[in-house]
Chains A and B, each alone.
Chain A
Amino acid sequence: MASSSTSKYNSHSLENESIKRTSRDGVTRDLSEAIPRLPGETLITDKEVIYICPFNGPIKGRVYITNYRLYLRSLEMDMRNLRFALKQEGHSRRDMFEILTRYAFPLAHSLPLFAFLNEEKFNVDGWTVYNPVEEYRRQGLPNHHWRITFINKCYELCDTYPALLVVPYRASDDDLRRVATFRSRNRIPVLSWIHPENKTVIVRCSQPLVGMSGKRNKDDEKYLDIIRETNRQISKLTIYDARPSVNAVANKATGGGYESDDVYHNAELFFLDIHNIHVMRESLKKVKDIVYPNVEESHWLSSLESTHWLEHIKLVLTGAIQVADKVSSGKSSVLVHCSDGWDRTAQLTSLAMLMLDSFYRSIEGFEILVQKEWISFGHKFSSRIGHGDKNHTDADRSPIFLQFIDCVWQMSKQFPTAFEFNERFLIIILDHLYSCRFGTFLFNCESARERQQVTERTVSLWSLINSNKEKFKNPFYTKEINRVLYPVASMRHLELWVNYYIRWNPRIKQQQPNPVEQRYMELLALRDEYIKRLEELQLANSTKLSEPPTSPSSPSQMMPHVQTHF
């Protein structure tokens, strides 16, 4: 009774919840069937098992393996689904094990990924969300100084870049080809974002191929100068090298390096001390070790500290703040690179853009941001995640994109009214980063996706999300134009994303999520009504007055304020 361990009482509060957990992701459940299935999902096998739940002990049930997932239907507690993510050893019967391996790692068994079998239909097409020409036009491009080039139409200049690139007007296609020879994997500096007023830009690329001998390339030097000159007021171009300086130096041994001051006179280089994919992978592994299956209790905070995960988050955010601050101040354009320019570089440019441009804080804007800075610019999703691949010790795997989403979550925590989307939106993106149900995150680059006809043969994750947007909306969102967000990247203000990393542990949860979400939905409805009403009033006013009245809480009047305490 009461003398039993104090933690027992909160296990009870969860019973309701596990019973009520129905389809979380738009899967319609046909009750006549044994399990809910997606169109295109087929049952491979099923068996009575006992699931050794790390939290609640053994649970009797029947396991169903489909070509998409493993499903456990509990005989004791109604339904409860377990994804591949929860591998368990309780029923290692040989045939089951083999089937499971085969469908969990289809590529290793020459089977197609489920995304290619998925027959789901949605009323919106997520593949049309991102159109590069439209996005650049939104940014006011092309203009006098920047042009759109199709030089990479057939991915000949750079096979990991998108077909469409924005480059300085004064650089010819031949210039670009010569610069490409001096940049790792031909990833030349191209425009990511331009400031609508001061016209400073964020440019991304890979490291220069300086090498041990300190090679130079006149075309590269000239090209960087052209970028600087697209803005008259600027005397120096700022280069942010995402790596720690030691690593940048060490890269010379393998032919890489960085832009030194004595060669690039009009540039200033700073190192941002963000570690590489291997460090990040090991750090996340340590986080996993302290939260699953048992949650570290007695020294939680110091154990969390020893994973260094939040410290890495801090460094990534700090770097992005510096990029955003530089561009927003109009003092300098910024060039960002790491080694290959597809991991840390993508984190920095996309986070800086999120801070600078409120468009990316809407649901569609964020989808465009991910589609542009991550998917089209060749973040190696396939290698980093290892979709359908069984080699889980592959050194190419790393949670770089997850780390980016974590940074976004930290920002949304600090600015509860600035983002149109809610936490669920971020979590569903991460769930389908691994699920292989959609084609969105498959393959390493645009050229590979085109070869596989991903847009024709698979469904986009954005179709699922955009056909049911209400679920992913933040009721407190206030649309603000031109407000720059500077999150506080101090350890005091960062926290572990418990709702994501420890969401499977019932002891962490407090309450059935339903009432909160329901209340938020009510708020959303109220808000929409309020906004509509306000607009009507303004319209009525402006027809009577010559000048339109300012709304009572005119958000655009908010001044950007820098709070950079690192």
Chain B
Amino acid sequence: MEFSELIRTGRAQAQLLRGPEAPPLRGTLCVTGHHLLLSPGPQSTPDLWLLLLRSVDSIEKRVAGDSGTITLRCKDLRVLQLEIEGVEATLDIARSIEALSSLESVITSFPFFYRPKGLRLGDSWHFLPPERYYKRVARETDAWRLSEVNEDFGLCPSYPRAVIVPRAVDDDVLARSARFRQGGRFPVLSYSHAPSGTVLLRSSQPLTGPQKRRCAEDEELLRAVLAGARPGARGFILDTRSAQAAKQARMTGGGTEAKAAYPGWKRLHRPLERGRPLQESFVRLVEACGDPEQSMDRWLSRLEGCRWLAHVKEALSTACLAAQAMEREGACILVHGAEGTDSTLLVTSLAQLILDPMSRTIAGFQELIEREWIQAGHPFQLRCAHSAFSQARPKHEAPTFLLFLDCVWQLGRQFPLSLEFGEGLLLALFEHAYASPFGTFLCNSEKERCLCEVRTRTHSLWSGLNQPKEQRKLRNPLYVLNPLAIWPSVEPQSLRLWQGLFLRWTHPPEPAEVAWEKVWQIVTGREETEGSQPTASA
């Protein structure tokens, strides 16, 4: 496909307004296949302003006289205004942006063209989390094995090629169990907590249906889990739906594990909001944060009305429950909702951050995201197609991953020393999940990424982020390894609005980066001054 067909006008004179902080920028505006460029012209600063078209969430045009205004609302919640000379030019540019920012095809997207200096294709894609993680598990226990039963994605299209399963069950049992679980997502190991000898598993709902079907192999699999854990371990099935919703799911072929069929396992219901209501909560919150007319006296009740912080609380407390059951009660946990690709991952990944000091390092956190979100089949492309500004009715969009990042931010706020990374990394992940020059968050599953050859034809976000020049923005200068579990307080008084994200573009008093930079100076200052000698040269 030729992008040029979609570009109505190549260029126009324009002025860019970037909010109250930055000065306006004047120059020549260009639309290319993937970018909007503003070049200020030769006489002034050579700074080129660049916007990835993919990050445009909604566009609004207005014309008056012989000029026009385009308002771009971006997926990272920024709002930009372009004042363009010429009515035709305005309309053409608006149409071009509209067409180019909503291209559906993955292989024409920018990551397939992005070739930054200093990075080599293929770098950092060698992260093979299930395999790598298995090595760690195998050092602690031999109750688990790495199975390649899903080698060709035949058993489960949303799982990676390799999964970690109980050593005692063979691949045929897995295949049978897969048929009994929605989307083939049979129970697999998510995290092994060596100190308590317990494990965290995830899956999708069992397809019991109205007749309450059973599956002997599925039951065998869960039996083997308990047998491989610490002696006498019990199990809890943490269903992220309400008991009623789980029961209702039977009518459409789903359901939940019958008590009698799984001895040793007990079911708990912790309903977490997902899908549409979660997206709507996100939209309402962003609306409230950006509303200049908002009568400020009603801010707190409006914030409460958005329910976002209530979702944060629910997610964190469910993760705490899972972590607590493992560490304190020595129980094994299986988490699932319906499809097992959203709130399930939210709970398993947060529980690991609470329990596992490794996952709180930069490398460990990246691995956690790769393993528990990307490879675990969170459908990023569907969920992050639009952010909070889109006028279109949400179909599959949901800010589950953002909710995860927010929960991590709350952990970081409550435990300022225990995470090796800072807000900068969380903000970067939010931006890149919605629009990115890197291939990491492309597609909905490992299978799709293989079909598109993402690994060989795009750069990995991790190689981009792990460059030395990015480190100061991402690392937490106060970090010290904390070998303990970090139990957050989930009382509403302990949770805050993530200002760094939701109020990022509206007048921050003293940006967090200033304090951050200060800490870096202190922490690294000694070496610097020691390194530099007084110079007398002019």
Contacts and interface: CB of A to CB of B under 8 A. Distances in A.
B296 A314 contact: yes
B171 interface: no
Interface stretch (A63-71, A171-179, A503-511): A503-511
Contacts of A553: 521
Contacts of B328: 9, 12
- Greatest chain A CB density within 10 A among B236, B325, B492, B538 is at B492
A519 interface: yes
A190 B334 CA distance: 72
A493 B499 CA distance: 8
Interface residues of chain A: helix, strand, loop or mixed (majority): helix
A496 interface: yes
B534 A491 contact: no
A9 B518 contact: no
A205 B210 CA distance: 80
B321 A478 contact: no
Interface string A526-539: 11011001100100
A492 B491 contact: no
B503 A492 contact: yes
Contacts of A540: 534
Contacts of A530: 521-522, 525-526, 529
B510 A508 contact: no
Contacts of B534: 537, 540-541, 544
Contacts of A7: 317, 490-491
A416 B515 contact: yes
A1 B492 contact: no
A295 B515 contact: no
A545 to B, nearest CB: 7
Contacts of A498: 493-494
B301 A12 contact: no
Interface string A284-324: 00000001000101011110110000110010000000000
Given A302-B301, A305-B298, A523-B522, A2 B509 contact: no
Contact of A295 (B303, B415, B493, B532): B493
Contacts of A563: 20, 507, 509
Interface stretch (B104-112, B368-376, B481-489): B481-489
Contacts of A534: 525, 529
B301 A9 contact: no
Nearest to B535: A541
- Greatest chain A CB density within 10 A among B493, B494, B514, B530 is at B493
A492 B289 contact: yes
Contacts of B491: 7, 295, 297, 507-508
B480 interface: yes
A46 interface: no
A6 B317 contact: yes
A565 B508 CA distance: 11
- Greatest chain A CB density within 10 A among B268, B317, B480, B521 is at B521
B489 A537 contact: no
Contact of A488 (B507, B514, B536): B507
Contact of B493 (A3, A291, A515): A291
A120 to B, nearest CB: 34
B320 A6 contact: yes
Contact of A507 (B300, B303, B324, B489): B489
Determine the interface band of chain A, counting residues with CB < 8 A from chain B.
35 or more
A519 B536 contact: no
- Greatest chain A CB density within 10 A among B304, B491, B532 is at B491
A516 B329 CA distance: 29
A388 B532 CA distance: 60
A526 B321 contact: no
A22 interface: no
Contact of B489 (A301, A508, A565): A508
Contacts of A537: 529, 532, 534
Nearest to A539: B534
Nearest to A8: B324
Contact of A519 (B266, B297, B309, B417): B417
B240 to A, nearest CB: 14
A553 B318 CA distance: 45
A301 B20 CA distance: 29
A56 to B, nearest CB: 15
A264 interface: no
A508 B494 contact: yes
Given A6-B321, A304-B300, A417-B510, A502 B518 contact: no
A371 interface: no
A566 to B, nearest CB: 8
Contacts of B318: 6
A509 to B, nearest CB: 6
B488 A510 contact: yes
B414 interface: yes
Nearest to A558: B514
Contacts of A297: 491-492
Contact of A492 (B299, B480, B514, B523): B299
Contact of A545 (B266, B414, B536): B536
B421 to A, nearest CB: 16
A168 interface: no
A292 to B, nearest CB: 12
Contacts of A523: 478, 519, 522-523
A311 B331 contact: no
Given A9-B321, A416-B515, A491-B300, A509 B522 contact: no
Contacts of A6: 317-318, 320-321, 490
A98 interface: no
A342 B486 CA distance: 47
Contacts of B298: 305
A270 interface: no
Contacts of A491: 296-297, 299-300
A492 B502 CA distance: 11
17 contacts: A12-B328, A301-B300, A301-B303, A476-B515, A476-B518, A476-B522, A495-B496, A510-B415, A510-B486, A511-B415, A519-B417, A523-B478, A527-B525, A530-B526, A534-B525, A537-B532, A563-B507
Given A305-B301, A486-B509, 11 more contacts: A1-B325, A2-B329, A9-B487, A297-B491, A301-B301, A487-B509, A496-B493, A502-B493, A508-B494, A510-B489, A533-B525
Interface of B: 20, 236, 266, 268, 289, 296-301, 303-304, 309, 317-318, 320-321, 323-325, 328-329, 331, 414-417, 478, 480, 482, 486-494, 496-497, 499, 503, 506-507, 509-510, 514-515, 518-519, 521-523, 525-526, 529-530, 532, 534-536, 538
- Give the top 5 A-B pairs by smallest Cβ distance, nearest first: A300-B492, A530-B525, A301-B304, A305-B300, A491-B299
Interface of A: 1-3, 6-10, 12-13, 291, 295, 297, 299-302, 304-305, 310-311, 314, 414-418, 475-476, 478, 486-488, 490-493, 495-496, 498, 502, 507-511, 515-516, 519, 523, 526-527, 529-530, 533-534, 537, 540-541, 544-545, 553, 563, 565-566
